[in-house]
Amino acid sequence: MRIQDKVVVITGGASGLGLATALYLTQEKGARVAIFDLNVEAGEKAVADIGADRAMFVHTDVSSEESVQKSVGEVMARFGAIHVCINGAAVPTPFKVLGKDGKAAPLARFAQTTAVNLNGVFNVMSKCAEQMAQNEAECGEERGVVINVSSGAAYEGQIGQSAYAATKAGVIGLNMPAARELGAIGVRVNAIAPGLFLTTMVAGLDEKVLTMLKEQMEAPKRLGDMREFAHCCAFIIENAYLNGETIRLDAASRMRAK
Protein backbone atom coordinates (compact mmCIF):
# COMPACT_ATOMS: atom_id res chain seq x y z
CA MET A 1 0.00 0.00 0.00
CA ARG A 2 1.29 3.45 -0.87
CA ILE A 3 1.62 5.56 2.26
CA GLN A 4 1.32 9.04 0.76
CA ASP A 5 -1.85 10.72 2.12
CA LYS A 6 -3.08 7.53 3.78
CA VAL A 7 -4.68 7.85 7.23
CA VAL A 8 -2.82 6.01 10.00
CA VAL A 9 -4.23 5.43 13.48
CA ILE A 10 -1.47 4.94 16.08
CA THR A 11 -2.34 3.94 19.64
CA GLY A 12 0.23 5.03 22.19
CA GLY A 13 1.32 7.49 19.54
CA ALA A 14 2.10 10.40 21.86
CA SER A 15 5.47 9.06 22.99
CA GLY A 16 8.20 6.47 22.41
CA LEU A 17 8.01 4.18 19.41
CA GLY A 18 4.50 5.36 18.57
CA LEU A 19 5.53 9.01 18.32
CA ALA A 20 8.67 8.14 16.36
CA THR A 21 6.48 6.24 13.90
CA ALA A 22 4.02 9.11 13.61
CA LEU A 23 6.86 11.53 12.85
CA TYR A 24 8.48 9.20 10.31
CA LEU A 25 5.29 8.35 8.43
CA THR A 26 4.21 11.98 8.15
CA GLN A 27 7.58 13.60 7.47
CA GLU A 28 9.19 10.90 5.31
CA LYS A 29 6.17 9.21 3.73
CA GLY A 30 3.50 11.90 3.58
CA ALA A 31 0.91 10.09 5.70
CA ARG A 32 -1.77 11.63 7.87
CA VAL A 33 -1.94 10.36 11.44
CA ALA A 34 -4.48 10.10 14.23
CA ILE A 35 -2.81 9.68 17.61
CA PHE A 36 -4.81 7.71 20.19
CA ASP A 37 -3.40 8.19 23.69
CA LEU A 38 -4.36 9.02 27.28
CA ASN A 39 -1.66 11.70 27.66
CA VAL A 40 -3.36 14.88 26.49
CA GLU A 41 -0.34 17.17 26.92
CA ALA A 42 1.98 14.85 24.98
CA GLY A 43 -0.65 14.21 22.32
CA GLU A 44 -1.24 17.90 21.68
CA LYS A 45 2.51 18.53 21.52
CA ALA A 46 2.88 15.73 18.98
CA VAL A 47 0.26 17.34 16.76
CA ALA A 48 2.01 20.71 17.08
CA ASP A 49 5.35 19.13 16.11
CA ILE A 50 3.90 17.28 13.13
CA GLY A 51 1.49 19.97 11.99
CA ALA A 52 -2.28 20.13 12.45
CA ASP A 53 -2.80 19.71 8.71
CA ARG A 54 -1.48 16.12 8.88
CA ALA A 55 -2.12 15.08 12.47
CA MET A 56 -4.87 14.91 15.05
CA PHE A 57 -4.94 13.77 18.67
CA VAL A 58 -7.84 11.91 20.23
CA HIS A 59 -7.93 11.17 23.95
CA THR A 60 -8.55 7.42 23.94
CA ASP A 61 -8.78 4.58 26.43
CA VAL A 62 -8.08 1.52 24.26
CA SER A 63 -9.61 -0.79 26.87
CA SER A 64 -12.99 0.96 26.53
CA GLU A 65 -15.23 0.03 23.62
CA GLU A 66 -17.15 3.28 23.93
CA SER A 67 -13.96 5.38 23.94
CA VAL A 68 -12.48 3.66 20.88
CA GLN A 69 -15.76 3.83 18.96
CA LYS A 70 -15.94 7.57 19.67
CA SER A 71 -12.30 8.09 18.65
CA VAL A 72 -12.71 6.20 15.38
CA GLY A 73 -15.77 8.33 14.65
CA GLU A 74 -13.71 11.50 15.15
CA VAL A 75 -11.06 10.25 12.73
CA MET A 76 -13.69 9.47 10.12
CA ALA A 77 -15.23 12.90 10.58
CA ARG A 78 -11.84 14.62 10.16
CA PHE A 79 -10.07 12.52 7.52
CA GLY A 80 -12.89 10.49 5.97
CA ALA A 81 -11.08 7.13 6.07
CA ILE A 82 -8.72 4.85 8.00
CA HIS A 83 -6.12 2.92 6.00
CA VAL A 84 -3.59 1.76 8.60
CA CYS A 85 -3.89 0.83 12.28
CA ILE A 86 -0.76 0.51 14.43
CA ASN A 87 -1.51 -0.81 17.92
CA GLY A 88 1.31 0.26 20.21
CA ALA A 89 -0.47 1.22 23.44
CA ALA A 90 0.60 -1.02 26.33
CA VAL A 91 1.29 -1.08 30.05
CA PRO A 92 4.21 -3.04 31.58
CA THR A 93 2.74 -3.60 35.09
CA PRO A 94 5.61 -5.81 36.37
CA PHE A 95 4.77 -8.19 39.19
CA LYS A 96 5.51 -11.76 40.21
CA VAL A 97 3.07 -14.65 40.41
CA LEU A 98 3.86 -14.82 44.12
CA GLY A 99 4.75 -11.70 46.08
CA LYS A 100 7.57 -11.38 48.62
CA ASP A 101 5.14 -12.54 51.27
CA GLY A 102 4.42 -15.71 49.30
CA LYS A 103 0.89 -14.61 48.55
CA ALA A 104 -0.61 -14.97 45.08
CA ALA A 105 -0.75 -11.79 43.02
CA PRO A 106 -4.27 -10.29 42.78
CA LEU A 107 -6.07 -11.34 39.61
CA ALA A 108 -7.03 -7.70 39.08
CA ARG A 109 -3.40 -6.81 38.29
CA PHE A 110 -3.25 -9.46 35.57
CA ALA A 111 -6.64 -8.37 34.22
CA GLN A 112 -5.53 -4.73 34.09
CA THR A 113 -2.63 -5.68 31.83
CA THR A 114 -4.83 -7.84 29.63
CA ALA A 115 -7.42 -5.07 29.30
CA VAL A 116 -4.92 -2.71 27.66
CA ASN A 117 -2.32 -4.94 26.00
CA LEU A 118 -4.59 -7.58 24.47
CA ASN A 119 -8.22 -6.53 24.70
CA GLY A 120 -7.18 -3.04 23.63
CA VAL A 121 -5.43 -4.36 20.52
CA PHE A 122 -8.50 -6.33 19.43
CA ASN A 123 -10.77 -3.40 20.30
CA VAL A 124 -8.95 -0.88 18.10
CA MET A 125 -8.12 -3.38 15.33
CA SER A 126 -11.72 -4.45 14.92
CA LYS A 127 -13.13 -0.91 14.94
CA CYS A 128 -10.56 0.25 12.39
CA ALA A 129 -11.06 -2.84 10.19
CA GLU A 130 -14.76 -2.03 10.03
CA GLN A 131 -13.89 1.31 8.44
CA MET A 132 -11.13 -0.14 6.23
CA ALA A 133 -13.69 -2.43 4.63
CA GLN A 134 -15.32 0.67 3.12
CA ASN A 135 -12.13 1.84 1.38
CA GLU A 136 -11.65 1.53 -2.35
CA ALA A 137 -9.22 -1.32 -2.98
CA GLU A 138 -5.76 -0.11 -4.01
CA CYS A 139 -4.51 -2.01 -7.08
CA GLY A 140 -7.65 -4.07 -6.80
CA GLU A 141 -6.56 -5.89 -3.64
CA GLU A 142 -5.67 -3.74 -0.58
CA ARG A 143 -8.03 -1.78 1.63
CA GLY A 144 -6.07 -1.62 4.85
CA VAL A 145 -3.12 -2.71 6.97
CA VAL A 146 -2.98 -3.58 10.68
CA ILE A 147 0.31 -3.68 12.63
CA ASN A 148 0.06 -4.99 16.18
CA VAL A 149 3.05 -4.38 18.44
CA SER A 150 4.17 -7.42 20.42
CA SER A 151 7.52 -7.80 22.23
CA GLY A 152 10.50 -10.07 22.63
CA ALA A 153 8.92 -10.87 25.99
CA ALA A 154 6.32 -12.89 24.08
CA TYR A 155 9.08 -15.44 23.45
CA GLU A 156 11.44 -15.04 26.42
CA GLY A 157 9.52 -13.32 29.17
CA GLN A 158 11.56 -12.31 32.18
CA ILE A 159 10.77 -12.99 35.83
CA GLY A 160 8.02 -10.56 36.81
CA GLN A 161 6.66 -10.34 33.28
CA SER A 162 4.04 -13.09 33.45
CA ALA A 163 1.16 -10.75 32.62
CA TYR A 164 3.06 -8.63 30.09
CA ALA A 165 4.57 -11.62 28.30
CA ALA A 166 1.23 -13.44 28.18
CA THR A 167 -0.51 -10.46 26.56
CA LYS A 168 2.30 -9.94 24.05
CA ALA A 169 2.16 -13.63 23.11
CA GLY A 170 -1.57 -13.16 22.68
CA VAL A 171 -0.92 -10.35 20.21
CA ILE A 172 1.09 -12.78 18.08
CA GLY A 173 -1.72 -15.29 18.37
CA LEU A 174 -4.10 -12.76 16.81
CA ASN A 175 -2.03 -12.55 13.65
CA MET A 176 -2.95 -15.60 11.63
CA PRO A 177 -6.70 -15.89 12.32
CA ALA A 178 -7.15 -12.13 11.82
CA ALA A 179 -5.03 -12.15 8.64
CA ARG A 180 -7.04 -15.06 7.24
CA GLU A 181 -10.37 -13.48 8.07
CA LEU A 182 -9.66 -9.88 7.12
CA GLY A 183 -7.71 -10.85 4.01
CA ALA A 184 -11.10 -11.51 2.41
CA ILE A 185 -11.83 -7.77 2.55
CA GLY A 186 -8.31 -6.70 1.56
CA VAL A 187 -6.89 -6.00 5.02
CA ARG A 188 -3.48 -7.42 5.99
CA VAL A 189 -2.51 -8.11 9.62
CA ASN A 190 1.10 -8.35 10.84
CA ALA A 191 3.01 -7.84 14.08
CA ILE A 192 6.37 -6.51 15.21
CA ALA A 193 8.12 -7.93 18.29
CA PRO A 194 10.69 -5.26 19.16
CA GLY A 195 13.66 -5.72 21.45
CA LEU A 196 15.30 -2.92 23.41
CA PHE A 197 15.06 0.50 21.78
CA LEU A 198 16.61 3.80 22.78
CA THR A 199 13.40 5.53 23.81
CA THR A 200 13.46 8.77 25.78
CA MET A 201 12.78 6.83 28.98
CA VAL A 202 15.63 4.37 28.35
CA ALA A 203 18.02 7.16 27.33
CA GLY A 204 17.50 8.72 30.75
CA LEU A 205 18.83 5.68 32.59
CA ASP A 206 22.18 5.68 34.38
CA GLU A 207 25.14 5.18 32.04
CA LYS A 208 26.11 1.96 33.80
CA VAL A 209 22.63 0.55 33.18
CA LEU A 210 22.79 1.58 29.53
CA THR A 211 26.16 -0.11 29.14
CA MET A 212 24.77 -3.31 30.65
CA LEU A 213 21.81 -3.23 28.28
CA LYS A 214 24.06 -2.72 25.26
CA GLU A 215 26.17 -5.70 26.31
CA GLN A 216 23.06 -7.88 26.05
CA MET A 217 22.67 -7.01 22.38
CA GLU A 218 24.14 -9.37 19.79
CA ALA A 219 24.70 -7.50 16.52
CA PRO A 220 24.71 -4.59 16.15
CA LYS A 221 25.93 -4.05 19.71
CA ARG A 222 23.59 -1.21 20.56
CA LEU A 223 20.00 -0.41 21.41
CA GLY A 224 17.60 0.06 18.53
CA ASP A 225 17.06 3.46 16.96
CA MET A 226 13.35 4.35 17.10
CA ARG A 227 13.45 5.31 13.42
CA GLU A 228 14.38 1.70 12.68
CA PHE A 229 11.10 0.61 14.24
CA ALA A 230 9.24 3.25 12.25
CA HIS A 231 10.98 2.11 9.07
CA CYS A 232 9.83 -1.46 9.79
CA CYS A 233 6.24 -0.23 10.04
CA ALA A 234 6.60 1.51 6.68
CA PHE A 235 8.02 -1.68 5.13
CA ILE A 236 5.05 -3.71 6.35
CA ILE A 237 2.60 -1.15 5.00
CA GLU A 238 4.29 -0.96 1.60
CA ASN A 239 4.92 -4.69 1.03
CA ALA A 240 1.57 -6.05 -0.16
CA TYR A 241 2.68 -9.70 0.09
CA LEU A 242 3.54 -9.61 3.78
CA ASN A 243 0.65 -11.01 5.81
CA GLY A 244 0.11 -12.96 9.02
CA GLU A 245 3.76 -12.53 9.99
CA THR A 246 5.60 -11.42 13.14
CA ILE A 247 8.92 -9.63 12.65
CA ARG A 248 11.41 -9.85 15.52
CA LEU A 249 13.22 -6.52 15.47
CA ASP A 250 15.87 -7.10 18.11
CA ALA A 251 19.42 -7.40 16.71
CA ALA A 252 19.26 -11.20 17.22
CA SER A 253 19.15 -10.67 20.99
CA ARG A 254 17.27 -12.89 23.42
CA MET A 255 16.05 -11.73 26.82
CA ARG A 256 17.59 -13.16 29.96
CA ALA A 257 15.56 -14.44 32.91
CA LYS A 258 16.18 -11.18 34.78
The C-alpha atoms of residue 133 and residue 110 are separated, in whole angstroms, by 33
The C-alpha atoms of residue 50 and residue 44 are separated, in whole angstroms, by 10
Catalytic residue among 24, 155, 164, 241: 164
User: Any idea what the Cα angle at residue 159 is, between residues 96 and 207, rounded to 5°?
Assistant: 115
The C-alpha atoms of residue 213 and residue 126 are separated, in whole angstroms, by 36
The C-alpha atoms of residue 94 and residue 230 are separated, in whole angstroms, by 26
Report the sign of the C-alpha dihedral through residues 56, 59, 63, 64, in that order: negative
The C-alpha atoms of residue 132 and residue 71 are separated, in whole angstroms, by 15
Q: Is 52 exposed, middle or buried (0-12, 13-18, 19+ CB in 10 A)?
A: exposed
What is the side-by-side order of every strand in the sheet holding 55-59?
55-59, 32-37, 7-11, 84-87, 144-149, 187-194, 246-249
Does 220 sit behind a cis peptide bond, omega within 30 degrees of 0 on the bond before it? yes
In sequence order, the β-bridge partners of residue 197 are 224
In sequence order, the β-bridge partners of residue 166 are none
The reply to whether 164 belongs to the active site is yes
Closest CA to 229 of 17, 31, 50, 87: 17
Cβ atoms of 35 and 16 closer than 8 Å? no
Q: Which residues participate in catalysis according to the annotation?
A: 164
